[in-house]
Amino acid sequence: MGEAVIHRPGEGERHSAGGSSAVIIKASGEDTAGSLFLSETTVDPNFPGPPLHRHERLHDMFYVLDGVLTMRLGGETHELGPGTFVCVPPGVAHTFTNASDTPVRFLNFNTPAGWESYMRELGEAATAGPLTPNVIGRIASHYDFEAI
């Protein structure tokens, strides 16, 4: 039987996502017996986001806390404000960006867990240099991430 995990505001395993953008891991596969990953993510103004992609097994979920997240789902683009929830099932092409001049903060849930390994590796790369599309693509190729 595992122990309860508590992360107060600002607490958790922090990783850079380039610039002052950051991912704070709140729950990992280690915490949830492999069932769930949860992060609190803050992205800078004009953050370009990941390339358009899909996942084979991963359910990718987003809950916007602050700001407006621009999300492309298939061929449609949506402006998502605070309180908006999106569940992207496996196989659906998607990406997000912050097209505004203020930061966006959101929760990202993934099931099953495992995405934390991608975020950790991405964070290490961000401290070594810019997160170019080639760098992101190289890292993503090791995980359930198919760029389109």
Flag whether 56 is in a domain.
yes
Kindly report the pTM of this predicted structure.
0.90
pLDDT tens digits in sequence order for the chain, 148 residues long: 578 999 999 999 998 777 778 899 999 999 999 999 999 999 999 988 888 999 999 999 999 999 999 999 999 999 999 999 999 999 999 999 999 999 999 999 999 998 898 889 888 888 888 877 778 778 888 889 898 8
Q: CA 122: distance to chain centroid?
A: 11
Using alpha carbons only, give the angle 95, 21, 105 rounded to the nearest 5 degrees. 70
State the residue range of the domain holding 114: 13-147
Q: How many domains does the chain have?
A: 1
> How many helices (H) and strands (E) would you count in the chain?
3, 11
SS3 content of the chain, % helix, strand, coil (to 5): 20, 35, 45
Flag whether 5 is in a domain.
no
